[in-house]
Amino acid sequence: MTLPDVVQAALDAVPRWDGHYLTGLEPPAGGTAALLDLATVVRGNHVELARLRPLAGKTFAGMFFDPSLRTRMSMSVACAKLGAHFVDLEPGSGLWTLEFEDEAVMDAVSAEHVREAAAVLGRYVDALGLRAFPTRGQWETERTQPVHSAFAAHAGVPVVNLEGPFAHPCQGLADALTMRDLLGEPRGRKMVFTWAPHPKQLPMAVANSGIWAGASLGMDVVLTHPEGFELDAEALSAAAGLADANGGSFTVTNDRNEAFQGADIVYAKSWGAVTGSASTAGGHADAFSSLKGKWLVTEADLRRGAPARFLHCLPVRRNVVVADEVLDGELSAVLDQAENRLWGQAALLLALLGR
């Protein structure tokens, strides 16, 4: 099987890394840009690639500890388009309950240790995807993405993060691809990443990966959120480093009105506080009731200058996070963004399994 020249050239341009994709920051310098180029080429050649089946004989297992529509479907369809087999695993629904603690005496519920489970899966498949949200334990532990790290340590095959406590790198790839599609040359354009209200305390993974996506494109990224909803210091530092390396900038403000001025892209997402009073269930409920409405994204927010395009990773709570008029209007790009999950992940699969 020979790939079309344009696909082979784009694949050859992606630098190799150790194989795991847990934060999206693993590829060496230029790697994310090369993955985006490959994603664009795969999108333009997907009919031919489906005929050639470059990943025939390869198997990818997606293990979903938490619900998903887009990630599950886009990874499954990306595998199908490249000829790979996708296995969908749902712990808690027909799989043994897993133990993650080292040296645990397993005399309670857990029937299998991740050491064996991951290693066995690694004997069956060529790569493993994992979705596991934070369990609202200590943030110092959650931020290390312990479930992902445990599988990565023991699987012996590349592990892809399908959303964890700290990062959603496949979403970040799609976000960057969508902003490139919308803006042509994103460098120097303004991306506003805004906190949004939500009744639940959601992970901050999409926010981290979103600001990294904008910064890696050399955009002027402005993160805005109410006081008390600060992102993790390491995530902020990574965004600043990426912006610096790629000719962009990264700033944080609690002033929503100031942030929205002159935006080219407005990306909304809710996340729960990990420290301070809003980090408790009661504190979050109080914050939600006082901020609901004030941080809702409306069409007027997008039309403060040249109209900004609206992004959200989905699923989204209508008229809590964003008004109907935005989602149903011409400025929304959320469906293109969701479609780009497919092309970004197809590129990632080729880079991991198709050399």
Residues that bind ligand CP (CB under 6 A): 68-71, 163, 171, 313-315
Evaluated on CA atoms 315, 321, 327, 331, the torsion sign reads negative
Reported as type and span, the H/E element at residue 80 is helix 70-82
Q: Return the SS3 of 128.
A: strand
Do strands 98-99 and 112-113 pair parallel, antiparallel, or not at all (unpaired)? parallel
Taking the complex as a whole, the smallest distance from the CB of residue 186 to ligand CP amounts, in Å, to 20
Taking the complex as a whole, the smallest distance from the CB of residue 50 to ligand CP amounts, in Å, to 23
Q: Are 260 and 266 in contact (CB under 8 A)?
A: yes
User: Whose Cβ is closer to ligand CP: residue 2's or residue 93's?
Assistant: 93
User: Whose Cβ is closer to ligand CP: residue 21's or residue 260's?
Assistant: 21
User: Whose Cβ is closer to ligand CP: residue 71's or residue 270's?
Assistant: 71
Taking the complex as a whole, the smallest distance from the CB of residue 171 to ligand CP amounts, in Å, to 5
Taking the complex as a whole, the smallest distance from the CB of residue 315 to ligand CP amounts, in Å, to 6
Residue with tokens 């009919």: 47
User: Whose Cβ is closer to ligand CP: residue 77's or residue 314's?
Assistant: 314
Question: Which tokens is 23 given?
Answer: 């934060």
Number of Cβ within a 10 Å radius of residue 261 = 12
Taking the complex as a whole, the smallest distance from the CB of residue 56 to ligand CP amounts, in Å, to 26
Question: Which tokens is 125 given?
Answer: 């498949």
User: Whose Cβ is closer to ligand CP: residue 36's or residue 206's?
Assistant: 206
Taking the complex as a whole, the smallest distance from the CB of residue 208 to ligand CP amounts, in Å, to 13
DSSP assignment of 289-350 equals HHHTTTT-B-HHHHTSSSPPEEE--S---BTTTB-HHHHTSTTB-HHHHHHHHHHHHHHHHH
Number of helices and strands (H, E) in the chain?
Answer: 15, 11
- For residue 188, give every residue at least 6 positions away whose Cβ sits within 8 Å of its Cβ, in sequence order, or none: 218, 219, 220, 247, 248
Question: Which tokens is 24 given?
Answer: 């999206």
Beta strands in 39-101 (DSSP E): 59-64, 85-89, 98-99
User: Whose Cβ is closer to ligand CP: residue 71's or residue 208's?
Assistant: 71
C-alpha distances in angstroms, 151 versus 22, 155, 173, 206, 329? 11, 5, 22, 21, 42
Taking the complex as a whole, the smallest distance from the CB of residue 101 to ligand CP amounts, in Å, to 28
User: Whose Cβ is closer to ligand CP: residue 81's or residue 168's?
Assistant: 168
Taking the complex as a whole, the smallest distance from the CB of residue 206 to ligand CP amounts, in Å, to 7
User: Whose Cβ is closer to ligand CP: residue 71's or residue 216's?
Assistant: 71
Reported as type and span, the H/E element at residue 34 is helix 31-44
Q: Is residue 28 reached through a cis peptide bond, with omega within 30 degrees of 0 on the bond before it?
A: no
Taking the complex as a whole, the smallest distance from the CB of residue 337 to ligand CP amounts, in Å, to 9
User: Whose Cβ is closer to ligand CP: residue 23's or residue 71's?
Assistant: 71
The CA-based diameter of the chain, rounded to the nearest angstrom, is 62
